[in-house]
Amino acid sequence: MDKDLLINLLKSVADGKTCVADAVEKLDHMAYEDITYAHIDHHRSLRKGFPEVIFGEGKTAEQIVGIMEKMQRQENIILVTRIDQEKADVVLSQFPEAVYHTDARMVVMELNKIITRGRGPILIISAGTSDIPVAKEAYLTARAMGNTVDTIFDVGVSGIHRLLDHHDAIAQANVLIVVAGMEGALPSVVAGMVDRPVIAVPTSVGYGVNLGGMTALFAMLNSCSSNVAVVNIDNGFGAGYVASSINRD
Amino acid sequence: MDKDLLINLLKSVADGKTCVADAVEKLDHMAYEDITYAHIDHHRSLRKGFPEVIFGEGKTAEQIVGIMEKMQRQENIILVTRIDQEKADVVLSQFPEAVYHTDARMVVMELNKIITRGRGPILIISAGTSDIPVAKEAYLTARAMGNTVDTIFDVGVSGIHRLLDHHDAIAQANVLIVVAGMEGALPSVVAGMVDRPVIAVPTSVGYGVNLGGMTALFAMLNSCSSNVAVVNIDNGFGAGYVASSINRD
Amino acid sequence: MDKDLLINLLKSVADGKTCVADAVEKLDHMAYEDITYAHIDHHRSLRKGFPEVIFGEGKTAEQIVGIMEKMQRQENIILVTRIDQEKADVVLSQFPEAVYHTDARMVVMELNKIITRGRGPILIISAGTSDIPVAKEAYLTARAMGNTVDTIFDVGVSGIHRLLDHHDAIAQANVLIVVAGMEGALPSVVAGMVDRPVIAVPTSVGYGVNLGGMTALFAMLNSCSSNVAVVNIDNGFGAGYVASSINRD
Amino acid sequence: MDKDLLINLLKSVADGKTCVADAVEKLDHMAYEDITYAHIDHHRSLRKGFPEVIFGEGKTAEQIVGIMEKMQRQENIILVTRIDQEKADVVLSQFPEAVYHTDARMVVMELNKIITRGRGPILIISAGTSDIPVAKEAYLTARAMGNTVDTIFDVGVSGIHRLLDHHDAIAQANVLIVVAGMEGALPSVVAGMVDRPVIAVPTSVGYGVNLGGMTALFAMLNSCSSNVAVVNIDNGFGAGYVASSINRD
Amino acid sequence: MDKDLLINLLKSVADGKTCVADAVEKLDHMAYEDITYAHIDHHRSLRKGFPEVIFGEGKTAEQIVGIMEKMQRQENIILVTRIDQEKADVVLSQFPEAVYHTDARMVVMELNKIITRGRGPILIISAGTSDIPVAKEAYLTARAMGNTVDTIFDVGVSGIHRLLDHHDAIAQANVLIVVAGMEGALPSVVAGMVDRPVIAVPTSVGYGVNLGGMTALFAMLNSCSSNVAVVNIDNGFGAGYVASSINRD
Amino acid sequence: MDKDLLINLLKSVADGKTCVADAVEKLDHMAYEDITYAHIDHHRSLRKGFPEVIFGEGKTAEQIVGIMEKMQRQENIILVTRIDQEKADVVLSQFPEAVYHTDARMVVMELNKIITRGRGPILIISAGTSDIPVAKEAYLTARAMGNTVDTIFDVGVSGIHRLLDHHDAIAQANVLIVVAGMEGALPSVVAGMVDRPVIAVPTSVGYGVNLGGMTALFAMLNSCSSNVAVVNIDNGFGAGYVASSINRD
Amino acid sequence: MDKDLLINLLKSVADGKTCVADAVEKLDHMAYEDITYAHIDHHRSLRKGFPEVIFGEGKTAEQIVGIMEKMQRQENIILVTRIDQEKADVVLSQFPEAVYHTDARMVVMELNKIITRGRGPILIISAGTSDIPVAKEAYLTARAMGNTVDTIFDVGVSGIHRLLDHHDAIAQANVLIVVAGMEGALPSVVAGMVDRPVIAVPTSVGYGVNLGGMTALFAMLNSCSSNVAVVNIDNGFGAGYVASSINRD
Amino acid sequence: MDKDLLINLLKSVADGKTCVADAVEKLDHMAYEDITYAHIDHHRSLRKGFPEVIFGEGKTAEQIVGIMEKMQRQENIILVTRIDQEKADVVLSQFPEAVYHTDARMVVMELNKIITRGRGPILIISAGTSDIPVAKEAYLTARAMGNTVDTIFDVGVSGIHRLLDHHDAIAQANVLIVVAGMEGALPSVVAGMVDRPVIAVPTSVGYGVNLGGMTALFAMLNSCSSNVAVVNIDNGFGAGYVASSINRD
């Protein structure tokens, strides 16, 4: 349940515009709802400032739709991550106002307009063209959470001048998300240029001993720059989320 | 080179209190100094807001002393991490004002008093008594970087009531550092309680399939709470550093 | 061969209702039957209280049907695990009384009604919606072995209040099966609340460094709660089986 | 806090033998005690039927003694696991009634006589002579928790007749703990002989691709016998604990 | 080039039945033939007593046919391993006398009748029904190399009586091949019963921490029975080959 | 931008054949071009002597075509690696002069004739027929970079005479690329025969504990011959590239 | 119990030289003896042709001496493997006729002269000087089991001519043991030269990605020569044992 | 045997200065010498341009001295790598002209002055002070092989300006050796700046998920710069050797 919605409801009761019985009914499912295959955590919006996000992998399209039906009554925005085209088609046939982002494999449904806030811009940098889908997932998440988000794509360390040319955008960011596969060196170089926190996102891009992204992950955890923290492989969503929590006023 | 020191020097030149020749000499080594076995990055204080930190492992006591001698002319504070008792004894015999913290295996030398700043308190929570040395390294680092730091030790998830009793301190923290070995579950539970960023630090505490901390690390990277980012195993220093960069005004 | 069937046969001989020659014929294949591609262990029901369970993976539909034909003469119940829809269709066309459970990928054929026994309820708790198929396999197995089984789904540690609300059901269970993927933290928290044995089941749900379930497995083996024992990744069947052996009178 | 101690205290208050003020003082630290480096979970005895056990690894001798001093006021028995000879000497110099078991690296301090209970005997079987220390840790734990415990050592699968000769003891056990290193095959064979639960304990005994016990662990998790659940490598303590929770009346 | 063919050719020259020019032409390609994508090692039959075996994986059907065309002029038998149905169809359309074994994924083409030799029977034992394809590959290889081969399938260690009942066949074998997936315990038990060499073959049968057969492999390499040597995962061919080299007169 | 093209342009300006305005337009995109999903590094030809190579994996056909359109204005040759048939069809429909090599999964588009240079021949040796695709990728790369390249395929160490017969070609090579899967032994043997540098390329050919090529990789890194350096698994492109950089005059 | 000793005893009874009572006493402990910390498998000599071998690692010197005291009454030879100097000193002080081999870390006690038998010579080849200790363990084991054993040390593949010069000894061996660390290539080359079985022994010699011998092990399991079977890392004993079982008449 | 020495000897015979008998004696051990524990490959200097290098690990001081005694008669230079202080003391007591380099753990014995040759300078760059020992091993090896060698230490990617300032030295090198631990990013950045070959050396410097250098190794193998080839972890020797083979005229 969104905090603003809750405040408005309570004000409305105070003003006598909503009778107590109606308010009770609306608040009834506030903590969580048990729909057998899911305990929907409606309280999360209040506790954490953003509603539960639906992890699409391993859920049927029907389960996703079922959870969305319960959530839409109480939330301003609904995100579904890691959802393939086929399931997304089912979801969009039920919720035409939802949008599916193919590269990020993500459904975004804005029930109310997102209000921009945050201490400064979040900048997302990716090392290669193949890393863009993960960077996009971070971008969509951070934007959905109300941040101003900028992006620079394909500026890997093998041509360091491409990166250095973007020095100004890098210096102005309040939080940086750096996405890279292969040897995962980019976060170290970027973090060495700034004093702001860098969230590093390893991707599974590469082959052989990239080990499905483990090499980039381990490289980032071993960064010789100290203002770096790391999220799981290909976890653009998590990077956008934690960057947003850092950027919150 | 500390920014305040630099500003004071330039003001002093402007005021005619320092002659240009003396200022030139002082600024000469500003970018970095090459002492054969090290390129000391004096520019780092300006660029990143905190001087280079000496990683003690794999350096001889003589190398550490040599680097400290160069740094003390330009910095307000010097940290040496991962330094054992034997090397620390050599260091302290040269720098009696330095302090060695046995459990955190860290030397801290405050050349000028640390000025407290930051947006709010940083809270460090550790799962078990054996995790305290890593938590202490995070504590000393965050404090040296000018933050207010609080700690709660030994509140693992097998007795969840111990954690819940500290709810107020948890809710008031601006950034949280959660240190845990074994199954590494504590960051997920703590992060589920707050909307602020949580820096998770896996430790090598445990045996068998703790895999020297890999299990806790992987568990934290797979956290079902999204406001979590992770640093390397036993990297209390990195956690303190990145938390400080988040907490900076 | 089911123990009750054996006792009835022997009583029937004692009572003169069955002649010795008929009894010999019936008992002939009691120890095991060699049908080239399988040594069916008919003795297992007597020795272990439950017949051999058919592991469907890597067997052809024909082999599964062949084994079931031999078993149905001597057993009360037949289970086939890890059987996909295509093979199940073949099996059900031969044995219309069998039931296929799609999510658990399991065939259950009750030849006689299952008699409920056991010291108390077995409670199955799962962390996420995506973990339900594994939880269902545990559920079907434990129920087939004659236990009262309850379930609570989707109560992961990122919203701990959802779990705490089910405290009563947790406290009343005689054995608990806790199913979780990702960081695998749930068994530690649940086990910290009770003095009964907890069987932890890691699932392959997650991505990146979940390592196909290895992270959850290792986390569970490192549990800081001591009343936890673990089975293989996605092994809901094994969890149901061992929980049942614990719950047996 | 032991449940019996609590009941006696309350009866004593009811009988007027203890005044309320004294009872309050005694109960004051009941939930847990925060002694900076540890939150001692006194409530655990009530909640889980056995007090917190001190994990000796990574704690100083002074920390262990400090925790024991607080615990001895409220508990019937104190266990310290994974404690080396040197630390144990310090502990025993403070608590002369404590006993150190060299092979199991465990301190046992019985403050009151252990009352034997449990549904039947727990049987501990080990594969080789080198596995005995781990088996002993399981033995001491299960005995400390009030069980009747029997042992059979050095009956590995390369001479299967040695195992089969102990068939009677195996058949009579209510719970079995099977300890093995190297290929870890023994639990499968033993579990195939009984219908009771088997707790398998892999040990780090072996070399090369025993991988510090990982091979035995994985083998046990892949057991073709289904009444097997597994604990961490060398975790004799955990095996004894979970077996005891199974055996509890 | 088969040794007998070579001897006959030379005898024929000695007897004047074959002129030197014809013999030269026939012997011309004896050492090896370079057909761009392969150096066919015709000398191998002389050096090692069996012709080169074609590893089908990663070769096109055309390459396989091309190699077979060159080999059939000089060899008595041709084996193709790890060849799928589709490629096999192409091969059989060119060589109608070749036989495709679906479960073993192997093509066998006997150009001359195989002469049985060897010091005694080779016995192949497999743990489960799902292990049969690997066992079959070993069987076909050992038989193609001129051995008497017997098989016992599905006698895993969870029902040890099934194995012990085959004691006579086990005792009479000159070499034993033991095939097992999951925990890979069977070779240890079988090897403990005999003084003959046991070739252990791990299979990828299982799931979770079977790790694609690595667990069975490592378990077999750690066997507490010493008359065991091991081949690669699912390498039935290698087991049949090395067993045959042991069994050679 | 190719160096020769640049020189010609500048000469043309000097000669008055090209006006300054035209030259400026041509040089405008020289450093790199930002086309949203890629920063094309046109400067690379000048800096590194060869243009950026397009890594096809993870890019859409449209992105590949888009990058090629920008590159063809400035380069002599364009390579696309790791591109499958389907994407290649799209590319070739746009650039009919490009050639797709199916086995090497590579597109080569020669915009100007390649000029052969280099200190001597590069020799590519592969261990088995299944390793040829990787060897071909190395061959096409080294040839595209202007080298004379020879190949010897299918000369694995199990028939060492096949290798020794090619001694002359081996002795005359200036750089050697040795491609092998399975146990990866060939580079050690070849490197022991020469004093020139050997670039070893592990392939993923094999099964079981070849671990997708990791075993060959690790074996090559452990080579007892010291004139060996290694590239990533299946990285024929990298081997051709680095060999070419060594062979450059 | 040695078979010859048993036959002699029975003959002696038949001849009236030994009375029945004495024979009974002697045979009493024949199957195995339970001395608490060990079940000594006296039956092994009859069943397997060689007595149980004592694995020294993880046993105390006292346990080793205790087992040897029981064994010496019934066996012709006693081997202790993986025993360090310190424990060996204790053993030799009790059994002065025993010999300690420092490099192989092995105690050999011949109670009766070893009778040489076997079908032909066993040849042990090692790749480097550092591999000699493992080769020696194989040598001592095979010799103790009654074989003629030859050795060739330090003939690694980086100088292949050293190996080829020993062609005659290689061709004459009935079984070959090939010991190698680092890239583990030697067994493939040797096995390619002969038609006899090769037992490959990986050693932990090397550093970095030799992974404690895993790389050599995996390389050997992937050998492109098919007459190779493998034992555990550094397991010279196992190699000697299985080679002897192959060589037995 | 050094090529120059051989030529001089033959010239001396041609000139009648050396009689044939003396020459024969000198050449007698040319191919290799078998001193039981080693086959010294004297032919290597002729075949590979540099004598065999003694790998000190796993050899006794006596074995090292014994091999050096044989080599000094025929070679110009002798290197011993990975030799600790204790063994080095024994070696130096026998060969006072030898020099021990403590940080590189290497003995260098120049029997004749090294003649400098090679196409250009070899440049060794290391990321951190702790990487210097490995860089030194590379330096000593390359210098011993007759190259001009320069070094730049401690220029990691977290302060990229330190590296860029050395641009000239980097541009002039004919071969570059780049040594780095932790995330191993430095070779990618350096290789992006040049068109010459880069030999990357991962070190074991770091902790946690540096995995003893595996992370740096894998990162380097995944380099997005293509003119990079890699050697084993901490293998400064190999890097110096292969760089020298590249730099040879």
User: Consecutive 10-residue runs of chain E (249 residues): their mean pLDDT?
Assistant: 70 79 66 80 81 93 95 92 97 97 96 91 95 97 97 90 89 97 95 96 95 96 96 98 94
- Cα torsion D177, D183, D188, D193: sign: negative
Please write the tens of the pLDDT for every residue from H197-237. Answer: 999 999 999 999 999 999 999 999 999 999 999 999 999 99
Supply the pLDDT for residue E121: 97
Tell me the one-letter amino acid at H73.
R
Confidence of residue F6 (pLDDT cuts 50, 70, 90): low
Give me the DSSP letters along A113-125.
PPPP-SSS-EEEE
Chain F interface mutation, best of A134, A207, A234, highest count of F Cβ atoms under 10 Å: A207
Is the Cβ pair F209, E233 closer than 8 Å?
yes
Task: Answer yes or no: is pLDDT of F28 > 60.
Answer: no
Q: Which of H195, H240, H231 is CA-nearest to residue H213?
A: H231
- Does C touch B (3+ CB pairs < 8 Å)? yes
CA pair distance F187, F166, nearest whole angstrom = 15
How many Cβ pairs closer than 8 A exist between chain A and C?
A: 57
Calculate ∠ Cα D137-C203-C52, nearest 5°.
75
Angle between helices F20-27 and F3-14 in degrees, nearest 10: 160
Q: Which of D194, D218, D226, D228 to mutate to test the interface with E (most CBs of E within 10 A)?
A: D218
The answer to whether A213 touches A158, Cβ cutoff 8 Å, is: no
**What pLDDT shows up at residue B125?**
97
The residue in chain B having the minimum alpha-carbon distance to the alpha carbon of residue D38 is B154
**Which E residues 206-225 touch C at CB under 8 Å?**
207-209
**Number of continuous H segments (helices) and E segments (strands) in chain C:** 11, 11
Mutation target among F215, F221, F233 for the G interface, most CBs of G within 10 A = F215
Dihedral sign, Cα of residue A55, residue A59, residue A61, residue A67: negative
- Please tell me which chains touch F, using 3 or more CB pairs under 8 Å as the contact test: A, E, G, H
G209: which chain F residues are within 8 Å (Cβ-Cβ)? 217-218, 221-222
Sign of the Cα pseudo-torsion (H73, H78, H83, H86, in order):
positive
Q: What is the ipTM of this complex?
A: 0.90
- CB within 8 Å: H39 and G155: yes
A-G interface (Cβ pairs under 8 Å ≥ 3): no
Chain B positions in Cβ-Cβ contact with residue C211 (cut-off 8 Å): 218
Q: Does B160 touch chain C (CB under 8 A)?
A: yes
**What whole-number distance in Å separates Cα of residue F70 and Cα of residue F51?**
12
At G73, list the tokens.
């009454």
Closest CA relative to residue G146, chosen from G173, G107, G178, G119: G119
Residue of E nearest to F128 (CA): E38
User: Can you tell me the mean pLDDT for F169-190?
Assistant: 96
Range name among B30-34, C236-240, H180-184 with the lowest pLDDT average: B30-34
Any alpha helices (H) in D15-96, and if so which ranges?
20-27, 44-48, 61-71, 85-94
Our measurement of the distance from residue H48's CA atom to the centroid of its chain's CA atoms, rounded to an integer in Å, reads 14
The β-bridge partners of B99 are B108
Give me the residue label for tokens 């915009």.
Answer: F111
Determine whether the interchain pair G49/E195 forms a contact, defined as Cβ–Cβ distance below 8 Å.
Answer: yes
List Cα–Cα distances, E16 to E8, E20, E27, in angstroms.
12, 9, 17
Cβ–Cβ of D161/G234 closer than 8 Å? Answer: no
Residues 222 through 241 of chain C touching chain B, CB cutoff 8 Å: 222-225
- Taking only the tens place, the pLDDT of each residue in H1-54 is 566 766 777 777 778 888 777 776 666 556 677 888 888 888 787 788 899 899
Q: Is E2 helix (H, G, I), strand (E, B) or coil?
A: coil
| pLDDT value at residue G18 | 80
**Cβ separation of G207 and H44 shorter than 8 Å?**
no
d(C-alpha B141, C-alpha H180), whole Å: 25
**H171 reaches A (C-beta below 8 A):** no
Least CB-CB distance to C219: which of B128, B158, B185? B185
Rounded Cα distance between A219 and H127, Å, is 14
- Between CA H90 and CA H68 the distance in angstroms is 12
- Cα separation, C5 vs H64, whole angstroms: 76
Element (H, E) at C9: helix C3-14
Q: What per-residue confidence (pLDDT) applies to B26?
A: 67
* Whether the Cβ atoms of residue A213 and residue B218 lie closer than 8 Å to each other: no
Exposure class string for D199-238: b at 16+ Cβ within 10 A, else e: bbbbbbbbbbbbbbbbbbbbbbbbbbbbbbbbbbbbbbbb
What is the Cα–Cα distance from A86 to D109, expressed in whole angstroms?
63
Q: What angle do CA E94, E100, E102 make, to 5 degrees?
A: 140
Give residue for tokens 């030999």. Answer: H199
> In a structure prediction context, what are the per-residue pLDDT tens digits for chain G, which is 249 residues long?
566 766 777 777 777 888 777 776 666 556 677 888 888 887 787 788 899 899 999 999 999 999 999 999 888 999 999 999 999 999 999 999 999 999 999 999 999 999 998 999 999 999 999 999 999 999 999 999 999 999 999 998 988 888 888 999 999 999 999 999 999 999 999 999 999 999 999 999 999 999 999 999 999 999 999 999 999 999 999 999 999 999 997
Report the C-alpha gap between F54 and F67 in whole angstroms: 8
Q: What angle do CA B193, B197, B199 make, to 5 degrees?
A: 100
The predicted pLDDT at position G153 comes to: 94
Distances (CA, A) of G183 to F106, F163, G222, H242: 31, 19, 12, 18
CA-based nearest residue to E141, from E165, E171, E177, E166? E177
pLDDT beyond 60 at D145: yes
Q: Cβ C215–B215 below 8 Å, yes or no?
A: yes
Residue of A nearest to F40 (CA): A154
Q: State which H helix or E strand residue E175 sits in.
A: strand E175-180
pLDDT tens digit sequence for A43-95: 787 788 899 899 999 999 999 999 999 999 888 999 999 999 999 999 999 99
Measured between CB atoms, which of B158, B184, B191 is closest to C219?
Answer: B184
Q: Which residues lie below 8 Å from residue E135, measured CB to CB, with a gap of 6+?
A: E124, E125, E126, E151, E153, E177, E179, E201, E236
- pLDDT band for position D30 (cuts 50, 70, 90): low
Q: Please report, rounded to a whole number, the percentage of residues in chain C having pLDDT higher than 70.
A: 94
Report the pLDDT value the prediction gives residue B30, as an integer from 0 to 100.
62
- Collect all residues of chain H within an 8 Å Cβ-Cβ radius of residue G209: 214, 217, 232-233
In chain A, what is the greatest distance between 2 CA atoms, to the nearest angstrom?
67
Distances (CA, A) of H41 to D248, E152, F219, G162: 70, 51, 22, 8
Taking alpha carbons only, the member of A70, A147, A67, A135 closest to residue A101 is A135
Residues of H with Cβ-Cβ distance to A185 under 8 angstroms: 157, 183-185, 188-189, 219
Amino acid at B152: I
The predicted structure's pLDDT at residue C215: 96
Query: Between helices E85-94 and E61-71, what is the axis angle to 10°?
Result: 40
Q: Cα H139 vs. chain centroid, distance in angstroms? A: 7
Q: Do chains D and F touch (3 or more CB pairs under 8 A)?
A: no
Residue appearing with tokens 């608990």: C176
pTM of the model: 0.92
Chain B residues touching A234 at Cβ < 8 A: none
| CB atoms inside a 10 Å sphere around CB B100 | 19
Q: Where are the beta strands (DSSP E) in chain A?
A: 33-34, 39-40, 54-55, 77-81, 99-101, 106-110, 122-126, 149-152, 175-180, 198-202, 228-230
CA pair distance D228, E28, nearest whole angstrom? 63
Evaluate if residue F1 carries a pLDDT over 60: no
Note whether E touches B: 3 CB pairs or more under 8 A.
no
pLDDT one-digit tens code per residue, F86-126:
999 999 999 999 999 999 999 999 999 999 989 999 999 99
Query: Which of C222, C227, C228, C233 to mutate to test binding with chain B, by most B CBs within 10 Å of its CB?
Result: C222
Helix (H, G, I), strand (E, B) or coil at C249: coil
Per-residue buried b or exposed e for D71-107, using 16+ beta carbons within 10 Å of the residue's own CB: bbebbbbbbbbbbeeebbeebeeebeebebbeebbbb
Report pLDDT for H240. 98
Return d(Cα H221, Cα H241) in angstroms, integer: 19
Q: Give CA–CA dist F34/F36, Å, rounded.
A: 6
User: What is the spatial distance between Cα F130 and Cα E60, in angstroms, rounded to a whole number?
Assistant: 9
Query: Which among B130, B161, B208 has the least Cβ separation from residue D234?
Result: B208
Taking only the tens of pLDDT, chain C with its 249 residues reads: 566 766 777 777 777 888 777 776 666 556 677 888 888 887 787 788 899 899 999 999 999 999 999 999 888 999 999 999 999 999 999 999 999 999 999 999 999 999 998 999 999 999 999 999 999 999 999 999 999 999 999 998 988 888 888 999 999 999 999 999 999 999 999 999 999 999 999 999 999 999 999 999 999 999 999 999 999 999 999 999 999 999 997
**Percent of chain D, pLDDT > 90?**
71
Residue B110 pLDDT: 95
The pLDDT-based confidence of B223 (bands split at 50, 70, 90) is very high
Distance CA B152, CA B132 (A): 10
Query: Which phi and psi angles does B20 have, rounded to 5°?
Result: -60, -40
Answer yes or no: are the C-beta atoms of B35 and B107 closer than 8 Å: no
Q: Which of H179, H220, H245 to mutate to test the interface with F (most CBs of F within 10 A)?
A: H245
